[in-house]
Amino acid sequence: MKNLLRNLSFALAIPFLFSSCEGKQNTLTAQEMADGWELLFDGTSLNGWRDYNGDALTGPWEVVDGTIKADGGGSDANGYIVTNKEYENFELVWDWKISKGGNSGMMYHVVERPQFKVPYVTGPEYQLIDDENFPEPLEDWQRCGADYAMYVPDFNTRDLKPAGQWNTSKIIFDNGHVVYFLNGKKLVEFDAWTEDWFKRKAAGKWADAREYGMATKGLICLQDHGYPAWFRNIKIKELPRKTYEADLFNGKDLSGWINYGSELWYVKDGLLVCESGPEKEYGYFGTDKYYDDYELTLEFKQEAEGNSGVFIRSIVEGKAKVNGWQVEVAPPGHDTGGVYESYGRGWLIQIPDEKESILKYGEWNTMKIRLVGDNIQTWLNGEQMINFTDEKIGKGHGRICLQIHDGGGIKVLWRNIHIKTL
């Protein structure tokens, strides 16, 4: 009788044990909290999420039974939600399941600007899709677990649960080294911004998406691509940033830079020369990588006209249109060291009149730019020119670009371009 009661008690406890496990979704253990993990979904609300390029969340997303549910009302043009917070280096883990024939995705390093109508032209995507039942043929780079349109997993070893069942995925992004996992098994491993990475980008879907995958920091993004999908246990642990120093110009060639426009950029006698071309238009010379927080030092010599500049956290549109913020390099009396926004607001801060004499026109000058978060400081020949804080600059991501102003007749020399990331 005692054994019977004991067995009956155990049988009655089984449903309770399983329901208790289910009740522990969307929580962190004490050890996870001590290790620095944070939840991106609390299981009951969509606090911390909003529309891409928006201030609120308008759908097609809702909380259902402790999951974030994509209702399936999204499309290629809309249906994306992003975190309020940006992340740089991290481990990101989440559970997900998808409807039969469904399509969704997890993106990261997503950048918001009015010029970007959809997030996937900025941030890489861990593809989530029902390979078996998707209504159209799929290329390998479109299949589940791929770094979408870039790197594909070994499908022979991939452990993918079918539509309607839960999977667990993980992304590790550690200072450019990237690893994707699915249900505990490694899917893909690669290094961002390497020669191989750029070749893949140039050869495929992203050939015309100039800013795709360039950001070192950005938002986490979920995609509703017209099919229901469910997410839970979304948690992230930030990893430290590695800092370094480098010369951005080697004195020999133009490697590491991209010429935007028809104006002239060339190397002569170990110097980088910018010179107006026959079209007398704006020209830009941008780094092939993004830089966010840093100290940049460089020397310049204005040989003719001298109307130039150093753009920070800038993106390039079309043939040669830069969207960002310029540290001015200009003839005397025109605020060298001040900051100008290339769209919208114009001058953000000009230098005091008494500091105009610090520029040595026709001679070599040394400029230093210190950029940390929303604060920018500039120095010219050892004298501080501005110390300025701006929310929009703080949210910016992009390249360093040197400029040739339009109008023709401009020639400026550059040397000793050195960066120290912070």
Domains in the chain (CATH in brackets) are 25-238 (2.60.120.560), 245-421 (2.60.120.560)
Q: Where are the beta strands (DSSP E) in 88-241?
A: 90-98, 103-110, 125-129, 167-174, 177-182, 185-191, 218-224, 229-238
Enter the tokens of residue 416.
């000793």
| pTM, 2 dp | 0.92
Radius of gyration of the chain (CA): 26
Is the pLDDT assigned to residue 208 strictly greater than 80? Answer: yes
Residue type at 395 in one-letter notation: K
Mean pLDDT of 123-132: 98
Is the pLDDT assigned to residue 1 strictly greater than 70? Answer: no
Mean pLDDT of 124-138: 97
pLDDT for position 23: 52
Is the pLDDT assigned to residue 146 strictly greater than 90? Answer: yes
User: CB neighbours (10 Å) of residue 405?
Assistant: 22
Enter the tokens of residue 342.
């290339």
At residue 161, φ and ψ (nearest 5 deg) are -80, 150
Which alpha helices (H) appear in 311-406, and where do they start and end?
A: 391-394
Please give the full DSSP string across 129-165, using - where no structure is assigned. Answer: E-TTT-SS---GGGSTTSBTTTB---TTT---PPTTS
Q: Determine the distance from the C-alpha atom of residue 349 to the mean position of all C-alpha atoms in its chain, rounded to a whole number.
A: 27
Name 223's bridge partners: 80, 105
Closest CA to 116 of 257, 210, 48: 210
pLDDT digits (tens, 9 = 90+) for 31-86: 999 999 999 999 999 999 999 999 999 888 999 999 999 999 999 999 999 999 99
Return the half-sphere exposure (C-beta side, CA atoms, 13 A cut-off) of residue 219.
26
Give the mean pLDDT of the chain: 94
CA distances from 132 to 96, 98, 129, 224, 368 (A): 17, 12, 9, 19, 56
